[in-house]
């Protein structure tokens, strides 16, 4: 079984990708092609790549639309957060299917780079390559690289593929400029782009517009809570020296997806019944895609506001605590965190909140999220330093 692996960011996948995959499938005598969207880049090098879950969803929709049973999608790299090395992906693939013969699909221009891949000798053992080139080129153009790599043990075949007149970059900028790019996209992908407001010029909303939109999206009590958290986060931010606008955005948007239905969560690739946990990740996605938030601190804060996270940044701590101490929250739990916040400061309040959440869940016999326990231990350790 010769299995082609077609990796890429797929931001978004377009008809050119499908044409190329079909051409390689035939030219290289493959039995299957697995599309493998890359994981989200680590926050530090974030260049505003669409969240993996949405890129995955677009690829899945596109493949479904082809109706080609030889094509499938793997979420292996998306599920593994951060940058993934090809060698690790290949090891996982072999572990899953030891008899599979893997063929890594690359552009012929990538040949020159192969020797910079991590553990490339290992890569050469675990897969062969099919190097694609466009009409107008020939394998002779890549002879030097070919000779050098085969000496090192690489197995390389070539395939001519049709030239593609579009790129994902052009589709993104076309959408941003308000042009209709549907002709280049599978219909279901165009729909996902529209539904999620991806690649839109005016997605960088100001706080006021965002608040208005949110008011339409949320119930009155949830909206009031969001405004309360926004104000409280700004107040804490002033005390600990975090810019007000960062606090405002994190507070305003932190529960943006809190009232999603199970189907809506599933639509974002988030599975499970626990909306109390799912909404943090979903709200992060919403903040990035619908409201154009790119600041990694704000996205981190929203993503971990329910459970906390060891090593969480100051803004994340502010949001975590403000969610409990905003003016609308009433009850002894909340008073206790307020008290610790005012007397001892932010990190002690994070610790107090974790301890109380854990005690509360234990009392009710409910499962306790590992992240919350880890955050408690982390905060405890930090305070003892």
Residues near Fe ion, by CB under 5 A:
255, 323
Angle CA(364)–CA(365)–CA(369) in degrees, nearest 5? 100
Identity of the residue, 145 or 323, whose beta carbon is nearer to Fe ion in the bound complex: 323
Identity of the residue, 118 or 262, whose beta carbon is nearer to Fe ion in the bound complex: 262
Identity of the residue, 50 or 306, whose beta carbon is nearer to Fe ion in the bound complex: 306
Element holding 5 (H helix, E strand): strand 2-8
Contact 250, 315 (CB under 8 A): yes
Identity of the residue, 77 or 353, whose beta carbon is nearer to Fe ion in the bound complex: 353
Q: How far is the CB of 326 from Fe ion (least distance, A)?
A: 8
Query: CA neighbours within 13 Å on the CB side: how many for 96?
Result: 11
Give the pair of three-digit tokens for residue 87: 């060698």
* CA-wise closest residue to 319 among 231, 233, 223, 226: 233
Identity of the residue, 145 or 255, whose beta carbon is nearer to Fe ion in the bound complex: 255
Q: How far is the CB of 234 from Fe ion (least distance, A)?
A: 15
Identity of the residue, 35 or 324, whose beta carbon is nearer to Fe ion in the bound complex: 324
> How many angstroms separate the CA atoms of 200 and 218, rounded?
23
Q: How far is the CB of 302 from Fe ion (least distance, A)?
A: 9
Q: How far is the CB of 13 from Fe ion (least distance, A)?
A: 32
DSSP letter for each residue of 6-37:
EEE--TT--HHHHHHHHHHHHHTT-SEEEEEE
Identity of the residue, 10 or 320, whose beta carbon is nearer to Fe ion in the bound complex: 320
Q: Cβ of 342: how many Cβ atoms within 10 Å?
A: 11
> How many angstroms separate the CA atoms of 229 and 234, rounded?
8
Contact 280, 306 (CB under 8 A): yes
Q: How far is the CB of 320 from Fe ion (least distance, A)?
A: 10
Q: How far is the CB of 209 from Fe ion (least distance, A)?
A: 21
Q: How far is the CB of 284 from Fe ion (least distance, A)?
A: 11
Going through 52-100 in order, the beta strands assigned E by DSSP cover: 71-73
Contact 94, 113 (CB under 8 A): no
Identity of the residue, 40 or 255, whose beta carbon is nearer to Fe ion in the bound complex: 255
Residue 292 CB partners (closer than 8 Å, separation 6+)? 200, 203, 204, 205
Identity of the residue, 97 or 335, whose beta carbon is nearer to Fe ion in the bound complex: 335
Contact 356, 336 (CB under 8 A): yes
> How many angstroms separate the CA atoms of 302 and 320, rounded?
9
What distances in angstroms separate CA 204 from CA 160, 227, 287, 293, 366, one per listed residue?
41, 19, 10, 7, 40
Q: How far is the CB of 203 from Fe ion (least distance, A)?
A: 22
Q: How far is the CB of 45 from Fe ion (least distance, A)?
A: 28
Give the pair of three-digit tokens for residue 212: 């208005």
> How many angstroms separate the CA atoms of 58 and 14, rounded?
9
């Amino acid at each position: 079984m010769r299995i082609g692996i077609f990796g890429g960011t797929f931001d978004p996948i377009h008809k050119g990708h499908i044409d190329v995959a079909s051409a390689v499938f035939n030219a290289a005598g493959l039995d299957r092609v697995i599309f493998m969207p890359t994981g989200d880049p680590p926050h530090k090098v974030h260049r505003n790549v669409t969240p993996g879950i949405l890129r995955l969803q677009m690829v899945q929709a596109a493949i479904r639309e082809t109706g080609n049973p030889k094509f499938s999608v793997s979420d292996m790299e998306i599920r593994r957060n951060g940058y993934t090395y090809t060698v690790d992906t290949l090891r996982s693939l072999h572990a899953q299917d030891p008899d599979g013969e893997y063929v890594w699909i690359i552009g012929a221009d990538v040949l020159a780079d192969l020797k910079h891949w991590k553990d490339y000798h290992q890569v050469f053992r675990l897969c062969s390559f099919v190097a694609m080139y466009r009409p107008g080129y020939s394998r002779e153009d890549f002879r030097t690289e070919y000779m050098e790599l085969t000496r090192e043990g690489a197995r390389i075949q070539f395939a001519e593929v049709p030239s593609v007149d579009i790129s994902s970059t052009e589709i993104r900028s076309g959408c941003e400029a308000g042009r209709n790019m549907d002709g280049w996209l599978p219909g279901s992908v165009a729909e996902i782009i529209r539904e999620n407001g991806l690649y839109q010029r005016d997605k960088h909303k100001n706080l006021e517009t965002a608040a208005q939109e949110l008011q339409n999206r949320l119930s009155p009590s949830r909206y009031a809570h969001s405004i309360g958290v926004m104000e409280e986060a700004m107040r804490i931010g002033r005390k600990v020296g975090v810019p007000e606008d960062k606090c405002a955005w994190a507070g305003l948007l932190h529960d943006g997806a809190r009232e999603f239905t199970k189907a809506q969560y599933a639509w974002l690739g988030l599975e499970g019944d626990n909306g109390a946990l799912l909404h943090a990740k979903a709200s992060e996605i919403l903040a990035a895609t619908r409201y154009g938030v790119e600041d990694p601190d704000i996205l981190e804060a929203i993503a971990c506001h329910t459970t906390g996270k060891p090593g969480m940044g100051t803004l994340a701590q502010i949001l975590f605590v403000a969610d409990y101490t905003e003016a609308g929250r009433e009850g002894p739990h909340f008073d206790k965190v307020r008290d610790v916040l005012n007397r001892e400061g932010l990190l002690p309040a994070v610790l107090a909140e974790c301890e109380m959440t854990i005690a509360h869940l234990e009392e009710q016999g409910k499962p306790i999220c590992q992240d919350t326990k880890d955050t408690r231990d982390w905060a405890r350790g930090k305070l003892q330093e």
